[in-house]
Structure 1
């Protein structure tokens, strides 16, 4: 499955109601296109608005204005800015993945069950979900003794591995990545890079934000830089070696 993502003049502001109402700008007039199988990387200082873009695309935030056209071969074209909650829930279950630096799961759910749930909601049988989920946790080098434990006891790196496994096991059409290598050792970074290249070759479209610029340059096809809520520059068609 593959997808195309187009943002047209997307703006997100926040209203703060204290003694007087204040308007804060998260991102402003954001426009870009990411074609099927491409990976766009976004850089910028903390507070520049990078995470706001990802959360708006995932519809954690509803954009204040603009259009976000998502097109896949199963859904056709949908404006995520106007999509219903039911449409968004369907896309999250079946086509759009999100990897955060922070793990948010239901209490008393094991690591393996967390990954299995991603597949069960797509219609996999319990046996298939357990097999695929186990294989993914193994590939991410998460120790097997942790699979049946609760992730609230995990280290930061272990939680990030679980987040990545949970999103990537679905092989989504669109994958949004918030600092996908934070807290990871070099071995784990190498596997994440391998998985990203595999997903790209299978047609997955990706948008990610990075502070690790060295890693980013090995996986992205185009770069965008953010400053004070706006995209200030782009570099497209970067050369990268699939065999790195």
Structure 2
């Protein structure tokens, strides 16, 4: 398929995990990509796998509004348009709120919430012009609560409802806004979860499909939402969770 031929897509957090997998998927379907992240080496490694003539690397910190504004000015100067924004940059933290200092709170909110706000604000005039769309990476942690992750939950809850509100505000402009809500996914950010206290096995037992997600599984959902196949889908926070949220929370009684 070439669903994204002649489309320009900007992906934040593109240096690893879901962002890198999304870059590969959209590129495979013909997209011209702008890969954004804080670490040049990681972005370059992803770009090395992709067609050089359709791939640009721009290091930037999405928590910095001035850096984001400069980023989008460069994208439009280089490409003349923007069709797809994938807000994937994110950071997690674990711990009770009583053990969370102000700097940690601000760092998580700066990347997970401010970063999405900055990028959406800068992108929207260009997406209105192209009748493009936004796909945010939220989380099942933005739909329901987790034990010991209140700060992360707060940040992803903000992304979830921000997605809905933007879809309402800009649908008549021809811009769709959706989000994916992954459960545990095998990424660098989640590596501690996979390594600690047999949590991977415990997660697998909780999942109706019996396994956690790979980044490519989430990238496939992002590609669907970003494509014209989803042209009548907007304001959706799509769980990509192996059936996890099909449960009402009661234990398996079989």
TM over 0.5: no
Bigger strand fraction = 1
TM range (shorter): 0.3 to 0.5
Bigger helix fraction = 2
| Greater relative CO (CA pairs within 8 A, separation 6+) | 1
TM-score calculated relative to the size of structure 1: 0.34
